[in-house]
């Protein structure tokens, strides 16, 4: 039986399509032989621990490149102490409480420094502002209002020494020195000046240092309210005053 031409053409096209898709299908099919092929055994040899030769180790230890020594710090003990201290400070400041204390402590310090600077510029006596004022002795004169040159300091000093009022005698002796410095033109005495103002008015040389020591003794006795001075204590202060006065008048001995 002969096929019709139209059916014959369709059959040809179907055969051609099968021929084209057959190689791809064969390639995608799994290779059953490869899938079932066994994994070969591990042929890697067993690792063995190798220990170095003892003699070789001794030889290497004797070489300079393999001598490991402890490097000591070149810092002194004082520097190491400060290094540990600042390390401790850094650890403290790293905590929340340490940061809080540092922040507000710094503000408090700056405020205190500012107040101190203002008080010094205003020439406020800090010993009276933050402590008790020195007790005034019963004097027959007012050194802040009366003229220093009008006082009978020699007679008043002799009377204080006779009565063993050594604290008052130290003050009178100091006023005697101020008047002598004023008479010689080394300072310009004024009631509102401080003792340290006179110190800076003195010319360069041995006088400023000697006057500084004399001022230190006077302020310690007078403002420190040293009422219990013994005769020996007063004699040491008096010797310092007389030595300073002899510097001013080498040919004349002070009282």
Ordered by start, the domain boundaries in the chain are 77-121, 148-248
Task: Summarize pLDDT for 106-123 with one digit per residue, the tens.
Answer: 788 888 888 888 877 775
Point out the least confidently predicted range of 84-88, 139-143, 191-195: 139-143
Q: Which residue has the tokens 């003792």?
A: 195
Residue 174 CA to residue 167 CA, distance in Å, equals 11
Other CB atoms within a 10 A radius of the CB of residue 228 amount to 8
pLDDT at 133 over 50: no
| CA 229 to the chain's CA centroid | 40
Radius of gyration of the chain (CA): 52
Residue 168 CA to residue 30 CA, distance in Å, equals 124
Task: Summarize pLDDT for 153-192 with one digit per residue, the tens.
Answer: 888 999 999 999 999 999 999 999 998 898 888 988 887 8
* CA neighbours closer than 13 Å in the CB half-sphere of residue 4: 3
pLDDT at 34 over 70: no
- What is the model's pLDDT at position 147? 64
Task: Summarize pLDDT for 189-207 with one digit per residue, the tens.
Answer: 887 888 888 888 898 888 8
pLDDT at 131 over 60: no
- What is the model's pLDDT at position 239? 92
- What is the model's pLDDT at position 242? 92
Q: Angle CA(198)–CA(201)–CA(205) in degrees, nearest 5?
A: 110
Residue 127 CA to residue 124 CA, distance in Å, equals 9
């Amino acid at each position: 039986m002969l096929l019709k031409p139209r059916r014959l053409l369709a059959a040809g096209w179907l055969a051609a399509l099968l021929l084209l898709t057959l190689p791809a299908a064969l390639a995608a099919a799994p290779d059953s032989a490869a899938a079932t092929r066994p994994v070969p055994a591990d042929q890697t040899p067993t690792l063995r621990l190798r220990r170095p030769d003892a003699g070789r180790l001794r030889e290497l230890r004797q070489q300079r490149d393999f001598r490991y020594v402890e490097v000591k710090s070149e810092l002194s003990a004082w520097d190491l102490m400060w290094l540990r201290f600042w390390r401790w400070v850094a650890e403290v400041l790293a905590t929340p409480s340490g940061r809080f204390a540092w922040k507000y402590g710094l503000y408090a310090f700056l405020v205190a420094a500012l107040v101190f600077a203002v008080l010094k510029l205003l020439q406020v006596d800090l010993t009276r502002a933050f402590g008790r004022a020195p007790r005034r002795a019963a004097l027959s004169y007012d050194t802040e209002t009366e003229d220093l040159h009008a006082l009978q300091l020699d007679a008043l000093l002799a009377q204080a020494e006779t009565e063993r009022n050594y604290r008052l005698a130290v003050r009178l002796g100091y006023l005697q020195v101020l008047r002598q410095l004023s008479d010689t033109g080394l300072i310009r005495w004024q009631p509102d000046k401080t003792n340290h103002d006179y110190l800076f008015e003195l010319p360069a040389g041995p006088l400023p240092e000697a006057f500084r020591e004399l001022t230190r003794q006077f302020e310690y006795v007078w403002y420190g309210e040293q009422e219990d001075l013994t005769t020996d204590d007063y004699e040491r202060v008096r010797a310092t005053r007389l030595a300073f006065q002899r510097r001013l008048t080498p040919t004349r001995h002070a009282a």
